[in-house]
Amino acid sequence: MNPPILQFIWRDEVVTLHRIPPTRTLLQLLREDLGHSATKEGCNEGDCGACTIVLGELKGDQISYRAVNSCIKMAHAVDGMALWTAADLAAEDDTAHPVQQALHQCHASQCGFCTPGFAMSLFGLYQNSVLKDQSVSRTQAQETLSGNLCRCTGYRPILDAAQAMGTLPRVHLDEARLRQQLASIAQQNRTQEADCAYLAPTHLDALLAARAARPQAQLVAGCTDVGLWVNKLHMDFAQVLDLTRVVELRTTEVQQDHTVIGAAVSLNDAFAALELDRPQLHAFFSRFAGLPVRQAGTLGGNIANGSPIGDSMPLLIALRASVVLMSARGERELALENLYTGYRKNVMAADEILAFVRVPRPQPGELLRVYKVSKRLEDDISAVCLAIRLLVQDGRVTDISIGVGGVAATPVRARQTEDALTGQVWTENVVSRAKNCLRNEFQPISDMRASAGYRVQLLDGLMQRFWLESQGAPDTSLAALTLPGELA
């Protein structure tokens, strides 16, 4: 199979490359193939942020800017986009960009290894906020830099730089020229051969036909997990089927009773859509990985991957979300929790794809909480994630749904506990019985994040928190829930 031609805009020029393997990462392309050393390789798994770059994509007549991890981004995924690295910020006369000036003036640069990643996360913030005359708050700066973990200088100088860059004279890209270049690449509309090693259809019918013809091809929908398989497990794929360019799957539609999110919508955009109805979820979403991962990964990919510690699934299960599976043969819809059959296994046929996620909109009187407990506040994997949605009428539980992550081989719904509460008067005694049911409903394992016994205790404690918050106690789901000393 022959790889397709790869084209992108870099340093004001159209770069055209041939014979790039389908599993070649963007970081490998930059450092090894193009001899570009400014973008660093750190963890090589999307955690440290040293490899952060910024991508520009034409959406309508506007350019969308996203900071992403190049180490887990397939090179072919940037076809038709614009690319910036830390070496591309300064002007032609070597005048430093405001991002660079601010890092220097605030003494926020360090050994030089991770600083390029900080600079690129801040460049994305600069393009999306500063140039739109939006001031950068401390909280916004923290969320922007949540995917850049190494902080040899400490947190304060880097956050100071994030806020200081907006006080410096503005530097604008030549977006008119860039739009022309991006449009020119898009208009070429290169047709991919059927046996192409990296297929990226642009419409749903073409995607379904490609999936039916090539069920063995590796699906990617953001690649934040598949990238790890390539880097850490040294997996290789003869053919990759990328669904992130399918127009129909890049949309979000708010209907009367549901919000429908396409499988190719980024995690960041999907979370923003869900926040419109439930703004209290922002604190939870901001703790989901780092911003570069949320801007590259997709909600559909996170669900289909089926990790038992994927944080979106417990919440979506509690919200009674469903998924729409599609193939050339037709489509079917099922509750999200019924998608999984075992560890990273699901009911999808070889020719099916997860196309849409349907999330019910809030009901009057709904009480919703989602708790993530992890060792680290940001960019960390949960030991336990518990989401509870409750409706009480005349003091009695009329509807409750509970999603749990980190306690079984798959994300799960606590059906026994729901049954124990449904129809009961919402009292502390009833909650105590439900806590006992929840403790015994699952058999979690011990691993590097927490022991089995501690996970059971967490379920008990979090249910107690939920009871207290239902009685007017402060919403602790907005606070940092991190593990104390007891770790396996």
Q: Is the pLDDT of residue 3 over 90?
A: no
Which residue range(s) make up the domain with 389?
A: 367-482
**Residue 345 within a domain:** yes
**Residue 478 within a domain:** yes
Q: Is the pLDDT of residue 116 over 90?
A: yes
151 and 198 together in one domain? no
Query: Of 168, 189, 210, which closes a domain?
Result: 189
| pLDDT confidence of residue 486 | 38
pLDDT tens, residue by residue, 447-475: 988 999 999 999 999 999 999 999 998 88
Query: Of 128, 162, 189, which closes a domain?
Result: 189
pLDDT tens, residue by residue, 123-165: 999 999 999 999 999 999 999 999 998 767 788 999 999 999 9
pLDDT band at 488 (very low <50, low <70, confident <90, very high): very low
377 and 420 together in one domain? yes
Share of the chain above pLDDT 70, in %: 96
**Residue 131 within a domain:** yes
159 and 260 together in one domain? no
Q: How many domains does the chain have?
A: 3
What rounded mean pLDDT belongs to the chain? 93
378 and 464 together in one domain? yes
74 and 149 together in one domain? yes
352 and 442 together in one domain? no
Region of 189 on the Ramachandran plot (φ > 0 left; ψ -120 to 50 alpha; else beta):
left
Long-range contacts of 152-156 (CB under 8 A, 24+ apart): 152/110, 152/111, 152/114, 153/107, 153/108, 153/109, 153/110
Query: Is pLDDT larger for residue 192 or for residue 369?
Result: 369
Share of the chain above pLDDT 90, in %: 88
pLDDT band at 378 (very low <50, low <70, confident <90, very high): confident
Query: Is pLDDT larger for residue 257 or for residue 485?
Result: 257
Structure tokens at 211: 């999936």
317 and 386 together in one domain? no
CATH, residue 261: 3.30.465.10
**Residue 244 within a domain:** yes
327 and 403 together in one domain? no
Question: Alpha-carbon dihedral of residues 138, 144, 146, 147, nearest 10 degrees?
Answer: -160
**Residue 488 within a domain:** no
**Residue 487 within a domain:** no
CATH, residue 438: 3.30.390.50
| pLDDT confidence of residue 361 | 98
